[in-house]
Structures are given as C-alpha cells and as structure tokens.
Structure 1
Amino acid sequence: MGKDKLRKFAEVDTFANVYQLEAGKPLKGSWAKLHFKNSNPVVLELACGKGEYSVGLARMFPKKNFIGVDLKGNRIWRGARTGIDEGIPNLAFLRIQIEDIGDYFGPGEVDEIWITFPDPQPQDSREKKRLTYPAFLEKYKAFLKPGGKVNLKTDNDGLYLYTLETVKSLGLPVHKQTDKLYASEHADEVLSIKTHYERIYLKHDKNINYIQFSFD
C-alpha cells in the first residue's frame, strides 16, 4: 500500500464526519438526531467513492442530511476532507460493506437513495453483487420511508437494462427512466452533478442512463 493511501487511512480515522464499520451501529435509527443534531431528511449515496455526489447534494440542499457509504477509506477521505474544509454540516460518511447496510439504518429512517456509477459487476456469476439485485433492494426497502425514491445513475447500459428489468419484474413503480440523460427532460440541476469519472465518460461521448423507482 502506498504512503499516500496509508496517510489517508490514518487521517480519516480522525474525521468527525466519518464512521467506520462497527462505529456507525449505535446511530441506527438516530442519525439525524445524534450526528446531524436535527430532524431533517436523511439521504444516502451508496458506493459513493470519493463522495462527489454527496458533496454536491449537501451543498445544494442544506435542509437535508447526506451520508455517503463506501468501503474504501482512501476514497471516502476526499469527500470527508472537502466537508471539513468547507464546513458542510449536513454531510457524513459511513465506511462499511454495502451488504451490511441494513445493520446501520432503522425502519423508515432514510428518505432517498442514490446509486451513482457503481461497479456494474457485468459477469453473470457476479449478479448478486449488483447493487440493484433483488436481495439488495429488499435491504433498502427495510429502511426507506414509504414513497422514498431510489435513483440509479450509470454509464453502463447493461446495468441500466438489468435494473429496469428487475424493477419491473418485481412490480415496482418506475417514475423516471432514460438511456440518454442529458438529451432528456430529466436533466435538472440535481442530475447534472457530475463525478470525475462521469466527466471522462462524457468526453468520450458515452451515454448516461438514469432510472428512478420506489417500493410503493
């Protein structure tokens, strides 16, 4: 492991806006009250990477609380560092395996979920690792408020089509869908937040897919 990664891992341990592994469990059901010290809605970004979307959303909506979730501490460091440097009070990060997400949030605690450019896990043998696999959707449903939305933004056409088929096969309502986001009517200021990798995809004329659905 390089020195820079080691430095980031050591530094992220000291950040007040980062919870790692077991440290987040005592907040289950009480994130808004115990960490954010308010009663505002809680929004998750799963597989957040460097947390660019979480940061962008937190800047845009100061009356909502945002939590970026990922396992890679050296990636979370970037978003958490930005949150500290800019004094963004409605931004936090949780370093865990996404498979364990249900252990960290209580029923109805989360208002909305964002899944932005996750690993598409394209091999059939890794279907169960896709963040829109039915077993993951069941986990989200357990802590998402009634009417809460799940948003997937991806450059991967296969993951988009898989998610669309999965959601429809489960009888879940689809509120928005497009395989060409920036040529659609859905490209508002929220969906126009761009990560580092998305900018690269767009430079290579890659289409961006988007789907929004719920469990009600």
Structure 2
Amino acid sequence: MSRKKLVRFKENELNPNVVQDGKPIFENIKGNWNESQFFNSNPIVVELACGRGEFAVGLARVFPQNNFIGVDIKGSRIWKGSSTATAEGIKNVAFLRTQIQQLDKFFDLGEISELWITFPDPFPRDGDEKRRLTSPKFLEMYKPLIKAGGTVHFKTDNTGLFDYTLELLQGRDDIEVLGFTHDFYQSEWKDEHFGIQTRYEKMFSDKGEKIKYLKFRFKD
C-alpha cells in the first residue's frame, strides 16, 4: 500500500465525518444518524457509490437544511470528500464506508428522505444483473429504508444500464416513474442540480456522452 493511501486512511480514522469499521459509532449508527452524527432532525439524503464525494459535498453546500451521506467502500476516495468538507467547515455531510449491499444494516426503516444513485458500475453482462444498483434485489432493499413519498434519483452515462432500469421500473406496480431523459443537459431538470457534477460525469460529458437521468418513488 502506498504511503499516500496510508496517510489518507489515518485521516479517515480521525475525521468525525467518516463513519467506518473500527469506530464506536459504526456499530450503533442505524436509526441514529440525526442524533449521533448530525445533532439535528433535518432530512437525510443518501448518495450511493459516492466515490470522491463531489456530489454529496456539492449538495451539502446548496442545501444546508438537509443532511447528506455519501456511501462507498473505497476509503481513499471517501477521503477526498471528507477532507474537502472539513476544510470548508461543512457540517451537514458525512461518509459511510461500507459495501452498498450492507445498506440496510446502517439505516432504519424510513430513515432516508431522498436517495441518489450516481454513475454506478453498469455490470453489463447478463450474469451480473443482480450486482446492478438498480436491480430488483437492491430496489427491495431500498424500499423500506426510504420514507413515504421519498424520491430516488438515478444518473448514468451508460445507455444499456439506463434502458434496463427504466424498463424494470415501468414494469413494477409499486413504483411511480416521475420523469426521465436520455439527455440530461438538454432537459428541464438540469438547473435543479445546480451544475454539480461528479468526476465521472464531467469526464463522460467532456467526451460527448449524453447523461441519462430519471427519478422515481415507491408508492405508499
């Protein structure tokens, strides 16, 4: 392991906005994010596969009335968002280092007000469908964790994953698709995101890839 990574991992251990294995809060955070991490009762917004945390931190800047949590397993990536938030004094964002498959171990029923799935691995092979973050397996995990009426947002550059997700959602009786576009930056929703981009979104956009976006909710 490189010296740079070792330094970043050590800073994660010390930084209170990183929740990870080895910290006492890690074992008891489920159902207690507002009380134990943010010390307020504001709505909780979660970003999955947050990477370097650009989107979670960006949203936290714009919406101080909400609490934001970026989830990723890569500590060296989380370090970037964590250190940025610390340097800027942003208190309403935190990072959870865990596998997304374990999400229900860290959030209680209805604890999440809004969910973002941003540029996840598309896992294009048919045999890998269950690993896609919009597969039925993951949807069933998200459903009880999101409060009634809570919105789920999905952004990707991958046409195959987007079409798969849209077809899946439209075929379910328990889901209402609120809107979608195959060209986000030419859509009515682009201004709602305040120009906040992830590293991958910027990279794909600069290459001329069209960004796809949809939002949906689970019916009561």
| Interval of TM-score (by shorter of Structure 1 and Structure 2) | over 0.9
User: Matches of 2:21 and 2:213 in 1, distance apart?
Assistant: 30
2:183 counterpart residue number: 180
User: Matches of 1:196 and 1:114 in 2, distance apart?
Assistant: 15
Deviation at 1:24, TM superposition (A): 2.5
User: Matches of 2:147 and 2:70 in 1, distance apart?
Assistant: 18
Matched, 1:207 2:210: yes
Higher alpha-carbon deviation: 175-184 or 195-204? 195-204
1:7 counterpart residue number: 7
Deviation at 1:204, TM superposition (A): 1.1
For the residue of structure 2 that corresponds to 1:67, the secondary structure is strand
2:160 counterpart residue number: 158
User: Matches of 1:33 and 1:167 in 2, distance apart?
Assistant: 34
* Number of corresponding residues: 216
User: Matches of 2:117 and 2:187 in 1, distance apart?
Assistant: 19
2:94 counterpart residue number: 92
Select the residue among 174, 193, 196 that pairs with 1:193. 196
Identity across matched positions, percent? 50
For the residue of structure 1 that corresponds to 2:90, the secondary structure is coil
For the residue of structure 1 that corresponds to 2:180, the secondary structure is strand
User: Matches of 2:217 and 2:27 in 1, distance apart?
Assistant: 25
Select the residue among 146, 149, 153 that pairs with 1:147. 149
Deviation at 1:193, TM superposition (A): 1.1
Deviation at 1:25, TM superposition (A): 3.4
2:110 counterpart residue number: 108
Matched, 1:44 2:46: yes
Structure 1 gap segments, 5+ residues each: none
Deviation at 1:195, TM superposition (A): 1.5
Q: CA RMSD in A?
A: 1.2
Deviation at 1:189, TM superposition (A): 3.9
- Which amino acid is the alignment partner of residue 34 of structure 1? S
Deviation at 1:19, TM superposition (A): 0.6
Judged with a 3 Å threshold, the aligned counterparts in structure 2 of structure 1 residues 135 and 191 are, in CA distance, closer, same or farther, namely: farther
Structure 2 gap segments, 5+ residues each: none
Judged with a 3 Å threshold, the aligned counterparts in structure 2 of structure 1 residues 128 and 7 are, in CA distance, closer, same or farther, namely: same
User: Matches of 1:189 and 1:32 in 2, distance apart?
Assistant: 25
- Which amino acid is the alignment partner of residue 188 of structure 2? E
1:58 counterpart residue number: 60
- Which amino acid is the alignment partner of residue 43 of structure 1? V
Question: Under a length normalisation based on structure 2, what TM-score does the superposition of the two structures give?
Answer: 0.95
- Which amino acid is the alignment partner of residue 173 of structure 1? E
Deviation at 1:107, TM superposition (A): 0.7
Deviation at 1:191, TM superposition (A): 6.0
User: Matches of 1:119 and 1:209 in 2, distance apart?
Assistant: 14
Higher alpha-carbon deviation: 96-105 or 7-16? 7-16
Moved over 6 A (4+): none
